[in-house]
Structure 1
Amino acid sequence: MMDALPAAQQPLTRLNIFATKGVQMRTFHLTWLTFFFCFFGWFGIAPLMPLVREQLHLDKGQIGNIVIASVSATILARLIVGKLCDTLGPRLTYSLLLVVGAVPVLLIGLSNSYEVFLLFRLAIGIIGASFVITQFHTSMMFAPKVVGTANAVAGGWGNLGGGIANMVMPLVAAGFVSLGYVDQANSWRLAMVVPGVVLLVMAGLYYKYTQDTPRGNYGDIERDTAQKSKGTFLLALRDYRTWVLALAYGACFGIEITIDNVAAVYFVDHFGASLVLAGMLAGVFGFMNIFARGLGGWVSDVVGRRAGMRGKWLLLSGLLILEGIGIALFALAPSLPLAIAAMLGFALFLKMANGCTYSIVPFVNKQALGSVSGVVGAGGNLGAMLVGFLFKSASISYSTAFLYIGIGVGAVGGLVLLIRLIRKELGETAPEAPLTLAGA
């Protein structure tokens, strides 16, 4: 059936990141760029937390609660958004999410107490559901043999927004101060208006210039009604591989967004770095997404073509184990230069594991791609929420928390390996086999 369609209406069989023609590549570039700004808005306040902490008189426990809140709402949002992608389509779902998510980003600057700030930070977390739509949409636009690479590149370039936010938001705040619009203590309030406005602009662009599938939008094409009646969410939940990937994603992406939240504060408090320097160092961690996540997806695709799905799973477990070792070394680093070196090392394996995880997702259940993406994505945020409790404890230092995280991540890598060794790969789509994706 796919072969009968014109080439312009079929998923692409190769990824040329410099191409812009065709709905597939137009959607690819718009979806990663939109995700970039979603991440920018999601973590825009993170490098400004030292200012917020001082002005709102926050203690360590309250900051820990804020870190937890920032990733908690995303769990439910990703589950809902995954289902909406299967029903409404990614174009409309993304546009609605951007409009709704922009509101708390724009308004968080009105916070004058810990409780109000906490509620706004919780609400901003729904923007993190944008990742599920990005992965779903690129999966619709690319053929199975390159879908892992396409998903990883789009996800990695989007995740880059968190790193750029750490670098840029302190400069944006300082810029408003230098222009005389606000004093330094209140500069974080005005700075957060910038990403909020950008999200609204991206909502309009996404709605106008993308479509759900290469063939058209859900409302304009004939879809498999039998598939819709099955209940894609239940299909996803009944597959044990969905849960294994959710666990793995909690150990890589969950740790990534935790680092995005606490790195600047850690470098200020533990090593005495300035606000701008701490933001830059935290930004370096996020900036590695420009290549590392894409590298993970590409390597996974190569391994999949040579060793099948078993090879993809073995690669994922190995990356998680190496990530855990790197985080432990970061926690034990006695100086800032050694901490930076360790951070670069574990960041590489972490972000490659992110890409590897979502190179497997499209092959788990072809009839419930959106729901599988949502559950796995929610697993990432659940992991972040759980480790967030380590950073609010008055009896555990940040460095000790990182050590515990490193041990836990390594254990998850070993568990993924063990599960895949004892379970048979029944009914698993081969990497080269065509997928019948929703709406295609």
Structure 2
Amino acid sequence: MSKSSFNIFSFSGKMKTLHLSWMAFFITFAVWFNFAPLLHAVKESLGLTTEEIKTLLILNVAITIPARVIVGSLTDRYGPRAVYSALLALCAIPCFAFALSETFIQAAIARFALGFIGAGFVIGIRLVSEWFPHNELGTAEGIYGGWGNFGSAAAAFTLPTIALMFGGEDGWRYAMALTGVISLVFAFIFYVNITDTPKGSTYFKPANLTAMEVTSKGDFFLLLLMKIPMYAALALLAWKLSPANIDMISITVTYAIYAGLFTLYLYEWSQVWKVNKSIFTTPVPEMHQYKFKQVAVLNILYFATFGSELAVVSMLPLFFLDTFELTPVMAGMVASAYAFMNLVSRPGGGWISDKFGRKSTLIILTAGLALGYLLMAQIDGGWTLWVAVAAAMLCSFFVQAGEGAVFATVPLIKRRMTGQIAGMTGAYGNVGAVVYLTVLSFVDYQTFFYVIAVTAFGGLVTLLFMTEPKGQIAEVNEDGSVTMIDVGSH
């Protein structure tokens, strides 16, 4: 844990780690969301239908749900330096493949594989938690998340211009390939400049890579319960691609996916049992216990915060276009105000959490988020445009500050499992996006905002069960000695 001062303009020690981390995350988001701003050009160039474009957008987020869980586990085992560098380098391949695609099937496979880069976020959560003390952790994680998240907005602003600079109907290919080149180059920069922990600190690894450890019988069943929505969201995506919806895959393939997901869930049961069966016979010493309910509450809150952000960002330009009869360019610019808030909101949420406590901050921000979406549901053509934009920005402050506060708490639960916990919580954000966007395909905008508000109120209720992290958590060194890590004021 680095004890030097928190100076955002410094580029040495822990601050260098923070800056390189958000840059890596920024690049992963620019690559992951390089499709949306060039959507029209891709549609024209490859001769795609609107349904095929929608399918590509769904495929873009599909694999991210399991990817975040897998990458979280790999980070805990092999360290953020190696895993982030590998992810940046390997994901350049499907990025180039998409830029070179000539048919819908080629584009679909590349886009599906590219969803893996959306897992980069969870790696930095573990890395930043190794370098910053608990009283600065929320601010540091907020800067990492907020500034990195801005990669999607940066892609939206710059890629259409870059495509025009290259010119011709292949301009979009060069613009996308450029994001792949940046990702590949930064993989080497990151690997050369990062260490997993400050000098002299131990990088604690979980005993198992295949399943999360729990420390009580009740937590064993809660973990299995909390796994179900992740499989359900993937089943929902399969249903959206089935003949019942956009008819991209046959009914046989749909049922094969359902069967595969069910089999995978049963396999996960077996792994959770294998890792945790000892708790049914031998109680875990109190010093090494942690409460899985903390993870469950954070999962639900991230479902409502990041899940709604992903969903709203993809529908907001259209919402403003339809409600206020704007031009597509104007609607895009107005809607981008929502994403812009990330630069300050997410670090702000983390900072408030550092200063005023994790639980109270989450309660206030979640309540604000629920009320914010209730306000959004009232917007109609009778509103003045700037008032509607102000309402969207107010709502987005609570959403993104809530994300910052969630990930200010994640690293304080069990250090050696931070990647796994961040992976599961991050995956729940994507589950939320899938659920909300599916809801949107059946209802009007007002109902969509009401649905998010209701789930946020549900998150508020679960917060009553959360315990404020305080005191210390114990981690065992390889030689058997125990290190105590501060997680909050006593």
TM-score by length of 2: 0.74
Alpha-carbon distance between aligned partners in 1 of 2:27 and 2:477, rounded to the nearest angstrom? 26
**Post-superposition offset of 1:63:** 4.7
Alpha-carbon distance between aligned partners in 1 of 2:192 and 2:428, rounded to the nearest angstrom? 31
Give yes or no for contact 1:43–1:260 (8 Å, CA) kept in 2: no
| Cα distance per residue 1:410-435 (max 9 Å; x no partner) | 33333323433xxxx4xx741x6477
- The structure 2 residue matched to 1:297, chosen from 350, 358, 363, is 350
Give yes or no for contact 2:77–2:209 (8 Å, CA) kept in 1: no
**Post-superposition offset of 1:346:** 0.9
Give yes or no for contact 1:109–1:192 (8 Å, CA) kept in 2: yes
Give yes or no for contact 2:3–2:133 (8 Å, CA) kept in 1: yes
Output the amino acid matched with 2:176: M
- The structure 1 residue matched to 2:78, chosen from 88, 92, 111, is 88
1:365 aligns with 2:414: yes
Moved more, 141-150 or 332-341: 332-341
Q: Alpha carbons of 1:438 and 1:62: their partners in 2 closer, same or farther (altered >3 Å)?
A: farther
- The structure 2 residue matched to 1:167, chosen from 129, 136, 157, is 157
Output aligned runs, 1:189-228, within 5 Å. 189-215=173-199, 228=206
Alpha-carbon distance between aligned partners in 1 of 2:345 and 2:198, rounded to the nearest angstrom? 28
Alpha-carbon distance between aligned partners in 2 of 1:147 and 1:437, rounded to the nearest angstrom? 22
Give yes or no for contact 1:136–1:370 (8 Å, CA) kept in 2: yes
| Cα distance per residue 1:27-57 (max 9 Å; x no partner) | 1110011111111111121223344455644
Equivalent residue, structure 2, for 1:307: none
- The structure 1 residue matched to 2:132, chosen from 142, 146, 155, is 142
Give yes or no for contact 1:70–1:122 (8 Å, CA) kept in 2: yes
Equivalent residue, structure 2, for 1:4: none
1:387 aligns with 2:440: no
**Post-superposition offset of 1:298:** 0.4
Q: What 5-or-longer segments of structure 1 have no aligned partner?
A: 1-9, 305-311
- The structure 1 residue matched to 2:334, chosen from 281, 298, 306, is 281
2:416 match: secondary structure? coil
1:182 aligns with 2:168: yes
- The structure 2 residue matched to 1:73, chosen from 56, 59, 63, is 63
1:18 aligns with 2:4: no
**Post-superposition offset of 1:228:** 3.6
**Post-superposition offset of 1:112:** 4.3
Equivalent residue, structure 1, for 2:212: 234
CA RMSD of aligned residues (A): 2.8
Larger RCO of the pair (alpha carbons < 8 Å, separation 6+): 1
Give yes or no for contact 1:47–1:170 (8 Å, CA) kept in 2: yes
Alpha-carbon distance between aligned partners in 2 of 1:15 and 1:404, rounded to the nearest angstrom? 40
1:368 match: secondary structure? helix
**Post-superposition offset of 1:232:** 8.3
| Cα distance per residue 1:46-96 (max 9 Å; x no partner) | 22334445564433x555443332222111111111111111100000011
| Cα distance per residue 1:376-423 (max 9 Å; x no partner) | 1111111112222134x3x534x2463244334433333323433xxx
Q: Alpha carbons of 1:49 and 1:374: their partners in 2 closer, same or farther (altered >3 Å)?
A: same
Report sequence identity in percent. Answer: 34
Largest Rg, 1 or 2? 2
Q: Alpha carbons of 1:294 and 1:230: their partners in 2 closer, same or farther (altered >3 Å)?
A: same
**Post-superposition offset of 1:14:** 4.3
2:187 match: secondary structure? helix
- The structure 2 residue matched to 1:333, chosen from 369, 372, 379, is 379
- The structure 1 residue matched to 2:49, chosen from 45, 51, 58, is 58
Output the amino acid matched with 2:168: V
Output the amino acid matched with 1:213: T
Alpha-carbon distance between aligned partners in 2 of 1:318 and 1:99, rounded to the nearest angstrom? 40
Q: What 5-or-longer segments of structure 2 have no aligned partner?
A: 215-222, 224-290, 484-490
**Post-superposition offset of 1:147:** 1.0
Alpha-carbon distance between aligned partners in 1 of 2:117 and 2:477, rounded to the nearest angstrom? 23
Alpha-carbon distance between aligned partners in 1 of 2:55 and 2:462, rounded to the nearest angstrom? 30
Alpha-carbon distance between aligned partners in 1 of 2:477 and 2:320, rounded to the nearest angstrom? 45
Equivalent residue, structure 2, for 1:33: 23
Q: Alpha carbons of 1:205 and 1:290: their partners in 2 closer, same or farther (altered >3 Å)?
A: same
Alpha-carbon distance between aligned partners in 2 of 1:63 and 1:338, rounded to the nearest angstrom? 32
**Post-superposition offset of 1:211:** 0.8
Alpha-carbon distance between aligned partners in 2 of 1:270 and 1:62, rounded to the nearest angstrom? 26
Output the amino acid matched with 1:330: M
Alpha-carbon distance between aligned partners in 2 of 1:171 and 1:437, rounded to the nearest angstrom? 52
Q: Alpha carbons of 1:222 and 1:232: their partners in 2 closer, same or farther (altered >3 Å)?
A: farther
Alpha-carbon distance between aligned partners in 2 of 1:112 and 1:263, rounded to the nearest angstrom? 30
Equivalent residue, structure 2, for 1:6: none
Give yes or no for contact 2:369–2:453 (8 Å, CA) kept in 1: no
- The structure 2 residue matched to 1:348, chosen from 386, 397, 406, is 397
**Post-superposition offset of 1:235:** 2.0
Alpha-carbon distance between aligned partners in 2 of 1:100 and 1:244, rounded to the nearest angstrom? 33
1:396 match: secondary structure? coil
Q: How many residues align?
A: 400
Alpha-carbon distance between aligned partners in 2 of 1:187 and 1:107, rounded to the nearest angstrom? 15
Equivalent residue, structure 2, for 1:245: 298
Q: Alpha carbons of 1:191 and 1:231: their partners in 2 closer, same or farther (altered >3 Å)?
A: closer
Equivalent residue, structure 2, for 1:109: 99
Output the amino acid matched with 1:259: V
Higher helix share: 1
- The structure 1 residue matched to 2:443, chosen from 396, 407, 429, is 396
1:192 match: secondary structure? helix
1:229 match: secondary structure? coil
Give yes or no for contact 2:308–2:452 (8 Å, CA) kept in 1: no
Q: Alpha carbons of 1:54 and 1:234: their partners in 2 closer, same or farther (altered >3 Å)?
A: same
**Post-superposition offset of 1:342:** 1.8
Equivalent residue, structure 1, for 2:487: none
**Post-superposition offset of 1:19:** 1.2
